[in-house]
Amino acid sequence: MSDPLLELDALQKIYPTGSGQLHAVDGVSLTLNRGESLGLVGESGCGKSTLVRVLARLIDPSAGAIRIDGQSIGDIPARRFGTHPQRKRIQVVFQDPTDSLNPQFRIFDSIADPLRRLGGRKTRTEVSDAVYEAARITRLPPELLMRYPHQLSGGQKARVGIARAIILRPDVLILDEPTSALDVSVQVVILQLLGELRETLGMSYLFVSHDLNVVKLVCDRVAVMYLGKIIECAPVDQIFARPAHPYTRALLSAIPGARDTARIRLDGEPRSPIDPAPNVCRFYGRCPMGQDLCAQKAPPLTNIGAHSAACHFRLDTRQEVLA
């Protein structure tokens, strides 16, 4: 299955700060295929959220290209993108359903808002029909539509967040930690709903999360991000069974319940994202297997089959690790 829908090419987002250039997203190339669910994982501060905001075109990239169906959207200024025809093809479900809903909007208006802004001219009945339909497919009880966010439970607000993201029938749904604020039981319902909607509405997901147990269940492929770079990307089974990058392996070993693998403790904090040395591997210094080479030459992302990783000493090619 290789039918690229969303392509990122050497995408970069640099923020100038008092002490130098902060490389939040640094040369990310990634492809989201049609119908695919791609997981994006990494520690906080690794640039996941900046990448999401660049993709949703809330901010402009510093360099690089974003293409949807081959059409470039990275060079449309964020200011203008809000009304651009391509805007409705990418929608975001934000992390905290409480903070991302306008407390002064009734639920109906929160869901209708994207449609009114981007759906072209619509009569009141058309808007209303679409809102009720969106509520129906996200299983949001229609009697809640006239209420305000504070009157809803966390799970119901999560449904509202999804309903308004799908009302324009986007091709790409960016899910930014969609269940991290929810209880385990509610999380199950929302994950199952998302799984179902992907099939019925034919959407592709970019699923940003730091809960690897969840990513394992809902994603086809996983990309691991570290300090602004993608350091590994592979089908989900491969990444869990046979991580190639030492960072990924440490991340997996830290999952609670991963009793079968010895915990790999990462000491220290990540390197600074401000003016990073271009020739040093970003993980150097924290990496349990770092060697002199890693400080002289930053490893590029290389492919072995469908499995790419940026490490000079890929674990999946080493016999002693495979044994």
Partner 1 sequence: MTPLLDIQNLSVDFATRDGTVHALENVSFQLARGETMGLVGESGSGKSVSAYAVMRLLGGSARVRADRMISGGVDLLTATDAEVAALRGKRMTMIFQNARSALNPIRPIGQQIADVLRVHRAMPRRAAKQAAIAALAEVRIPDPERRYHAYPFELSGGMCQRVMIALAFASEPELLIADEPTTGLDVTTQAVIMDLIREKSSQRRMSTILITHDLTLAAEYCDRFAVMHAGHVVEQGTTADIFERAAHPYTGLLMKATPHGASNLSDLAAIPGSLPDLRRDLPPCRFVHRCAHSAPACAAALPRVPLEPSHEVSCHMPWKVSA
**Judged by CB under 8 A, does residue 43 bind partner 1?**
yes
CB of 267 or CB of 292, closer to partner 1: 267
Nearer to partner 1, 266 or 295 (CB): 266
Q: Is 218 in the site for partner 1 (CB under 8 A)?
A: yes
Q: Between 257 and 278, name the residue whose CB sits nearer to partner 1.
A: 257
State yes or no: residue 147 binds partner 1 (CB under 8 A).
no
Minimum Å gap between C-beta 44 and partner 1 is: 6
Question: Using H for helix, E for strand and C for coil, what is the string for the chain?
Answer: CCCEEEEEEEEEEEEEECCEEEEEEEEEEEEEECCCEEEEECCCCCCHHHHHHHHCCCCCCCEEEEEECCEECCCCCHHHHCCCHHHHHEEEECCCCCCCCCCCCCHHHHHHHHHHHHCCCCCHHHHHHHHHHHHHHCCCCHHHCCCCHHHCCHHHHHHHHHHHHHCCCCCEEEEECCCCCCCHHHHHHHHHHHHHHHHHHCCEEEEECCCHHHHHHHCCEEEEEECCEEEEEEEHHHHHHCCCCHHHHHHHHCCCCCCCCCCCCCCCCCCCCECCCCCCCCCCCCCCCCCHHHHHCCCCCEEECCEEECCCCCHHHCHHHHC
Given 255, 280, 295, 321, the residue binding partner 1 (CB under 8 A): 255
**Please, what is the minimum distance in Å from the beta carbon of residue 139 to partner 1?**
12
Rule CB under 8 A: choose which of 70, 257, 278, 305 binds partner 1: 257
Contact 215, 233 (CB under 8 A): no
Q: Which is nearer to partner 1, 18 or 256 (CB)?
A: 256
Among 71, 83, 104, 185, binds partner 1 (CB under 8 A): 185
Q: Taking the C-alpha atoms of 25, 31, 36 and 40 in order, what is their torsion angle to the nearest 10 degrees?
A: -20
Closest CB 153 distance from partner 1, rounded Å: 8
CB 308 within 8 A of CB 233: yes
CB of 310 to partner 1, least distance (A): 19
Cβ pair 289, 246 in contact under 8 A: yes
- Tell me: does residue 271 bind partner 1 (CB under 8 A): no
142 lies in the binding site for partner 1 (CB under 8 A): no
Stretch that binds partner 1, among 39-47, 53-61, 67-75, 109-117 (CB under 8 A): 39-47
Does residue 191 touch partner 1 according to CB under 8 A?
yes
Q: Using the rule CB under 8 A, which residue among 137, 266, 295, 321 binds partner 1?
A: 266
Identify the residue among 24, 112, 214, 239 touching partner 1 (CB under 8 A): 214
The one among 210, 242, 271, 312 contacting partner 1 by CB under 8 A: 210
CB of 267 to partner 1, least distance (A): 8
Among 59, 118, 217, 321, binds partner 1 (CB under 8 A): 217
Residues at the interface with partner 1 (CB under 8 A): 43-45, 153-154, 180, 183-189, 191-192, 195, 210-214, 216-218, 250-251, 254-257, 259, 263, 265-269
